Structure 1
C-alpha cells in the first residue's frame, strides 16, 4: 500500500467515525498533492458535503467526474453527490442535467432516480417527478401491498391524469 493509499484510507476512516473536520484537513491536503486523482477528489467532495460545505464540494465533485479512475460505484456516487449538491444550493437546472446524465449512465440506480425526482419537482416538473418516483417504487418496493398493485402503479405512473368518464 502506498503512502497515498494509507493517507486516503485514514481520512476516509476519520470521516466514517464522525471526525469530519480532521478528515477534511487530510483530504484537502491530499487533493492539493494529487490534483489529478479522481478518488481523492471524490472523497474530498464527500467530506465537504457531510460538513454542510456544499459550495466547496462542487469543484471536487466536478474534478472527480472529469478525471479517469473512479470505479463505477464511486462514479455513480460522485454524479449523485454533485447533482444533489446542486439541488441543495438551489441550482436546479444543473441538478436536473447532472442527474439525468447519471441516470442514463446508471439506469438501474434507484437513488439517482429518487434525487432526480426531487430536482424535477424543484423545477416545477411535478408530473415527471411523480412518474419517476412511482416507477421506482413499483420496481423496488418489497411491501406486499405495493407488489399487489404494481401493474396499476406502473400504469398510472405514465399518466396520472387518466380518468374514466362517467356513464351518461
Structure 2
C-alpha cells in the first residue's frame, strides 16, 4: 500500500473497532505494533482493542508500553491509566491497580472514573474506609438527586470520618 501512512492505518484500525469489528482491528494493530514497537499511540490503541475483546492479560503489556513511552496525548494518557488500572483489577492484581489509578489521579485529580475505579480497587485490597470516602465524595458532588443534594454537606462531612458519632 504505497502512500499509506502509519496514521492512516491507525485510523483505519480504530474505525474497525468503533464499527464493531474489534478482531479485524486487533489484527491490524498487531501488525502496526510489530512495525512501530515504540509508538505510544499504536500501543494504546492495541491495548484498548484487547480490552474490548476481553483479552485483559494481553492488553497489559501494551498499556505498560504506551505509558512508558513519550508521545501519548493527555486524553489518551488518562484513558491508558484508567484502562491499565481497571485491567489490573480485573486480573486480581489489586495493589498494581491501586498504584496505577492513584498515579492517574495525581495527573487528573478531578476524573470521576479514575476515582470510582480506585474505590473499587481499594475495596478489593480491604481498604473499605478509603473506598467509601471516595464514593461518598463522588455521590455528594456529582449526584443530581435532590435528596442527595439536600444532604450534601452532611455526606461530605461524614466522608471525612465515617466512624464519627454524636
Normalised-by-shorter TM-score class: over 0.9
1:49 to 44, 48, 51: 51
The structural deviation recorded for 1:144 is 2.0
The structural deviation recorded for 1:2 is 6.0
- Indicate yes or no: 2:151 matched with 1:152: no
Structure 1 residue runs of 4 or more that deviate by more than 3 Å after TM superposition: none
- The 5 A counterparts of 1:124-135 are 124-135=126-137
CA distance in 1, matches of 2:93, 2:49: 20
- Note the alpha carbon deviations across 1:93-117, whole angstroms, 9 max, x for none: 1001111111111101110000000
2:79 to 74, 77, 80: 77
- The 5 A counterparts of 1:54-133 are 54-133=56-135
Instruction: Number of aligned residue pairs: give it.
Output: 164
Alignment partner, residue 4 of structure 1:
6
Aligned alpha-carbon RMSD (Å) = 1.2
Structure 1 gaps, min length 5: none
Q: Secondary structure at the match of 1:90?
A: coil
The structural deviation recorded for 1:19 is 0.4
TM-score using structure 2 length:
0.96
CA distance in 2, matches of 1:130, 1:2: 50
User: Which stretch of the first structure deviates more once superposed, 152-161 or 39-48?
Assistant: 152-161
- Note the alpha carbon deviations across 1:89-148, whole angstroms, 9 max, x for none: 000010011111111111011100000000000000001000011111111222222221
CA distance in 2, matches of 1:76, 1:141: 23
TM-score using structure 1 length:
0.94
Residues 140, 2 of structure 1: alpha-carbon distance in 2 compared, 3 angstrom cutoff = farther
CA distance in 1, matches of 2:150, 2:73: 37
1:25 to 24, 27, 35: 27
